[in-house]
Amino acid sequence: MKNKKYSAMKFNTKTIHGGQHHDPSTGAVMPPVYQTSTFVQKSPGQPINPDYEYSRAANPTRSALENALASIENGVRGLAFSSGLAATDCLLRSFKAGDEIIAMDDLYGGTYRMFTKIYKDSGIKFHFVDMNDMGKFQSLINKNTKLVWVETPTNPLMKLADIQEIAKITKANNILFAVDNTFATPYLQNPLDLGADVVMHSATKYLSGHSDVIAGALIVKDEALGEQLHFQQFATGATLGPMDSFLVLRGIKTLHLRMQRHCENGVKVVEFLNSHPKIKTVYYPGLESHPFHEIAKKQMSDFGGMVSFTFVSGKKEDSIDFLEKLKVFTLAESLGGVESLANHPALMTHASIPEDKRKEIGITDDLVRLSVGIEDAEDLIEDLKQALA
């Protein structure tokens, strides 16, 4: 499952060929869906192929995806999980009572819920901090600090964290540094190259790209850490099934094309929203007025298709009225698919964050999040126009 052979390829080639080989027994160009739970053994403990004995440990379709994931994120090992949260949970199981974790203060609601509810009685202490306040961030580090966790850009406020700057600090203090790269994807940003140790994905989103699968991934650049996480995954069981592995792998093959169009459409939608009299603030890292635009230019190759915004009126009813009127954008949780989606974070994806905490970080009741799809931009803008009228 090592992935050295393809490391020299350019990204757009890696999405198609990275870590892949033709099926040795049939020559099939795409890896078959090995829909099997188990594999024949010649003698007890001697499977016909030593890599495969039981699909929770390894399955050839999942291996093909895991090799592709390692390739596109410039890692040495990829692991595919039954959801993004299962991937995060696998990493968190590496820590024990007394350990401390510092996390960005703006996170997907489900990640925040896991940290604060599922791990509440684990004895692991979580600190939530704006990672751009380097002084505050550094003041939280002590000998028990074991993990720094960031999303960048964040969901839903599109805040950024400077991966290189944080990596300098984590390295100096021997702390593991994980980046949730779901919003950016490796097309826009390569956290492992910038100094992170672990990349996490909700592969449900851009990687699969068609809103037809729930999946997660971890990618690392250290073989021993990869082995440790694989053991954790195998021993606890949240692996991705063969058919879902196939769907994510198929999605990855067009990631570069889709992302290019997501970025183009994202900019057009942002230009429209930014000049609309009913819109107050547009959160998009490509805007020069965005507080983290300089960091975005430094670590991302473009600015993506995720956009959030608030209303001049500040009224929750205005955001709900807008969302109900949309015709091309679909009101639904999730993001990163070919179709444009709209979401109300306070009532939907981030409802599990307590109201006072939401307000404190800026997830107001009039905040709307758009996942700009790859439809014709003119249709998207017409739709926004009529919903705002």
Q: Which of 34, 52, 108, 284 is catalytic?
A: 108
H or E element that contains 47: strand 46-47
The answer to whether 349 contacts ligand P1T (rule: CB under 6 A) is yes
146 and 100 Cβ atoms separated by less than 8 Å: yes
Q: Which of 162, 180, 318, 383 is catalytic?
A: 180
The answer to whether 191 contacts ligand P1T (rule: CB under 6 A) is no
What binding mask, one character per residue, do residues 302-341 give for ligand P1T by CB under 6 A, x or -? -------------------------------xxx------
* 56 a catalytic residue: yes
In a 13 Å sphere around the CA of 258, the CA atoms on its Cβ side amount to 24
* 168 a catalytic residue: no
* 5 a catalytic residue: no
Strand 77-81 relative to strand 216-220, pairing = antiparallel
Please give the full DSSP string across 125-143, using - where no structure is assigned: EEEEE-TT-HHHHHHT--T
The answer to whether 111 contacts ligand P1T (rule: CB under 6 A) is yes
Of the ranges 59-67, 105-113, 118-126, 260-268, which one interacts with ligand P1T (CB under 6 A)? 105-113
214 and 76 Cβ atoms separated by less than 8 Å: no
Strand 125-129 relative to strand 176-180, pairing = unpaired
The answer to whether 214 contacts ligand P1T (rule: CB under 6 A) is yes
Buried b (16+ CB within 10 A) or exposed e, 247-268: bbbbbbbebbebbebbbebbbe
The answer to whether 60 contacts ligand P1T (rule: CB under 6 A) is no
Considering the complex, state which of residue 104 and residue 175 has its C-beta at the smaller distance from ligand P1T.
104
**Which structure tokens are listed for 41?**
């053994």
In angstroms, the CA 253 to CA 267 distance is 24
Considering the complex, state which of residue 216 and residue 285 has its C-beta at the smaller distance from ligand P1T.
216
The answer to whether 83 contacts ligand P1T (rule: CB under 6 A) is yes
Considering the complex, state which of residue 9 and residue 347 has its C-beta at the smaller distance from ligand P1T.
347
Total residues interacting with ligand P1T, rule: CB under 6 A: 20
The answer to whether 67 contacts ligand P1T (rule: CB under 6 A) is no
Q: Minimum distance from CB of 14 to ligand P1T (Å)? A: 22
Q: Minimum distance from CB of 186 to ligand P1T (Å)? A: 14
The answer to whether 351 contacts ligand P1T (rule: CB under 6 A) is no
Q: Minimum distance from CB of 204 to ligand P1T (Å)? A: 4
Which one among 100, 106, 162, 180 touches ligand P1T, defined by CB under 6 A? 180
* 205 a catalytic residue: yes
In angstroms, the CA 335 to CA 204 distance is 8
Helix (H, G, I), strand (E, B) or coil at 219: strand
The answer to whether 110 contacts ligand P1T (rule: CB under 6 A) is yes
In angstroms, the CA 370 to CA 345 distance is 10
Which one among 108, 115, 283, 284 touches ligand P1T, defined by CB under 6 A? 108
Q: Which of 14, 205, 221, 369 is catalytic?
A: 205
- Helices 242-252 and 60-72, axial angle in degrees (round to 10): 30
**Sheet holding 279-283: strands in order across?**
279-283, 306-311, 368-371, 341-343, 330-331
The answer to whether 208 contacts ligand P1T (rule: CB under 6 A) is no
Considering the complex, state which of residue 3 and residue 155 has its C-beta at the smaller distance from ligand P1T.
155
Considering the complex, state which of residue 83 and residue 185 has its C-beta at the smaller distance from ligand P1T.
83
**Dihedral angle sign, alpha carbons of residues 230, 246, 203, 220:** positive
The answer to whether 84 contacts ligand P1T (rule: CB under 6 A) is yes
Cα–Cα distances (Å) from 200 to 288, 352, 373, in that order, read 28, 21, 22
Which residues does the annotation mark as catalytic?
56, 108, 180, 205
Q: Provide the binding-site residues for ligand P1T, judged by CB under 6 A.
A: 83-85, 108, 110-111, 151, 155, 180, 182-183, 202, 204, 214, 216, 333-335, 343, 349
